[in-house]
Amino acid sequence: MRDRVGALGERATVMNVLEAITRLKQACNYCPESGRSAKEGDLVERMAQIAASGQKALVFSQWTDERFGVARVAAGLRAFRPLVYTGAMDSDEREGAVRRFNEDPSRAALVLSLRAGGQGLNLQRASYVVHFDRWWNPAVEDQATDRSHRSGQRYPVTVYEYVCGDTIEERIEQILDDKRALFRRLVDGVSLDLARALTPTEIFGLLGLRAPRRLARGDAAGGTPVERARALLRQTGWTIRSRPEGVRSVVELKAARADELGRRTELWLVGPAGDGTITTSTVEALREALPRGGEATGAVITTEPPTEDVRDAADRLGIEVWRL
């Protein structure tokens, strides 16, 4: 995939990379050559315990086909008499699948396509939810998980999310963890779309490639990391104050917003050094600058993955780390 996209040179587009990522994510579900799946092997073991305890599980996949998606997952779980639910089924078929799952104790699993099964269903008979592959949009995943959180649910709901280590899945997960933390702070319930959440440089970087110059130039459209943070905050309803010229302070931006009850929230932000990184000294200096009494939250901005020392210092001092 890297060679194929790389051979396009300056003609390469973000969509070329996203197509490659889709193929690689599918291979994380099932090997295209052997059909083996580490995820399926683990899930079968878990389902044996779930079924033995008289419980049921919802299993979600973003694909529906017989090689990588719902149909293939259901085939691997045949010992548990699974039912399937996809958008290709008509309304009577979907209603029948839900009814049999809720009423037949021998049907331990319902395998659903994420889009079709994420809305308008009441599946409180399931006390386990499994995301066989990740959509990279937490709002969509949460909506699907909520199918089992309904009136009549008698048990705690346990959620499993599969991510294959040392693969494209893990690389995307690591980047989006930082993005999710940032967006959760800016606005509740935000949905992240891979093509919108990552810059072209980050998307091409998932394959170890440089973004074409015409696309990489777009990364700089938002200016410095602090300027990008200012734009994001303004877009989500924050009032911004920049550090006046001539004032000596580690704090570069102060942002404020009131919620629907009139409660005021303040953010004080510090940008990265010239190489895009931050240090423990930056974190400590910001903590020292914050007013006492919890009147404001501090956040340091970085363009590079923060070191373990920085993360530890931030956790210890209650400072947020945003990667932009």
DSSP for 143-155, written as a single string: HHHGGGSSTT--S
Over range 184-198, report the average pLDDT: 56
Query: Same topology for domains 1-221 and 223-324, yes or no?
Result: no
CATH (one of 3.40.50.360, 3.40.140.80, 3.40.50.300, 3.30.450.40) for 1-221:
3.40.50.300
Domain 223-324 falls under CATH 3.40.50.300: no
Which residues are paired to 36 by β-bridges?
A: none
The set of residues, in sequence order, having a beta carbon less than 8 Å from that of 130 and lying 6+ positions away, is 43, 46, 57, 58, 59, 60, 159, 160, 161, 162
Distance (Å, rounded) from C-alpha 294 to C-alpha 261?
18
229 vs 70, higher pLDDT:
70
The percent of residues above 70 in pLDDT, for the chain, comes to 84
Domain ranges of the chain: 1-221, 223-324
Average the pLDDT over each of 163-172, 175-184, 294-303 and give the range with the smallest value.
175-184
Distance (Å, rounded) from C-alpha 240 to C-alpha 194?
27
Closest Cα to residue 217, out of 199, 232, 231, 235? Answer: 199
Over range 74-78, report the average pLDDT: 97
Closest Cα to residue 173, out of 218, 129, 133, 225? Answer: 133
14 and 203 Cβ atoms separated by less than 8 Å: yes
The set of residues, in sequence order, having a beta carbon less than 8 Å from that of 51 and lying 6+ positions away, is 80, 108
Over range 267-292, report the average pLDDT: 89
Per DSSP, the chain holds a count of helices (H) and strands (E) of 14, 10
Q: What is the DSSP letter of 309?
A: H
pTM over 0.85: no
110 and 101 Cβ atoms separated by less than 8 Å: yes
Q: What is the pLDDT of residues 288-319, one digit of tens each?
A: 999 877 678 888 988 888 888 998 998 899 89
The set of residues, in sequence order, having a beta carbon less than 8 Å from that of 320 and lying 6+ positions away, is 181, 185, 297, 298, 299, 300, 314
Average the pLDDT over each of 165-179, 220-234, 251-265 and give the range with the smallest value.
220-234
Does position 191 have pLDDT exceeding 90, yes or no? no
Does position 190 have pLDDT exceeding 50, yes or no? no
